C-alpha cells in the first residue's frame, strides 16, 4: 500500500504553474553538502524531467540549509536516500522516494544547479 506524505518544508507551493524544472519520481543519487550550508542533490529519475532551466548545467538541484525550509528539505532527502534502494527504478522502489519535485527555475543557491522549491516523499513497501 502506498502512502504519500506531503512535505512542504517551510516553503509554500502555489496553485499556479511552476516556472522551473519538474521531476515526477526520483531517488537521491548523490547528496553533496558544502561547508557553507549549501547542498547539491543529483537524482536518479525514471520519470524524466521537464522545464529544466538553461542555468542547470549540472543536472542537479540545490537547497540552502541555512534556512528553516532548507533544513527540513535536507532531512527528508537524507531520509529517502538512507532508506531507498539506489539501484532500483524509482517506480519499483521498495523504500521511500521523492515525488513531484519542483524547482524555482533559477540557480541562485549553487551555480549550475537549480534551486529546489518543493517535493513530496512517497512511502512504499512495509513501513
For 63-72, what is each residue's pLDDT tens digit? Answer: 999 999 999 9
Give dist(CA 21, CA 26) in Å, integer.
Answer: 13
CATH code reported for the domain at 12-122: 2.40.50
Encode pLDDT of 23-79 as tens digits.
888 888 899 999 999 999 998 887 778 889 999 999 899 999 999 999 999 999 998
On whether the pTM is more than 0.85, the answer is no
Domain ranges of the chain: 12-122
Give dist(CA 118, CA 91) in Å, integer.
Answer: 19
Amino acid at each position: 500500500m502506498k502512502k504519500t506524505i506531503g512535505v512542504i518544508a517551510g516553503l509554500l507551493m502555489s496553485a499556479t504553474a511552476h516556472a522551473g524544472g519538474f521531476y515526477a519520481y526520483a531517488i537521491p543519487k548523490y547528496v553533496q553538502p558544502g561547508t557553507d550550508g549549501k547542498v547539491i542533490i543529483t537524482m536518479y529519475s525514471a520519470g524524466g524531467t521537464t522545464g529544466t532551466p538553461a542555468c542547470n548545467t549540472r543536472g542537479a538541484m540545490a537547497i540552502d540549509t541555512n534556512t528553516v525550509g532548507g533544513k527540513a528539505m535536507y532531512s527528508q532527502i537524507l531520509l529517502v536516500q538512507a532508506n531507498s534502494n539506489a539501484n532500483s527504478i524509482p517506480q519499483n522502489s521498495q523504500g521511500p522516494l521523492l515525488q513531484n519535485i519542483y524547482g524555482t527555475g533559477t540557480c541562485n543557491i549553487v551555480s549550475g544547479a537549480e534551486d529546489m522549491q518543493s517535493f513530496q516523499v512517497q512511502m512504499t513497501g512495509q513501513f
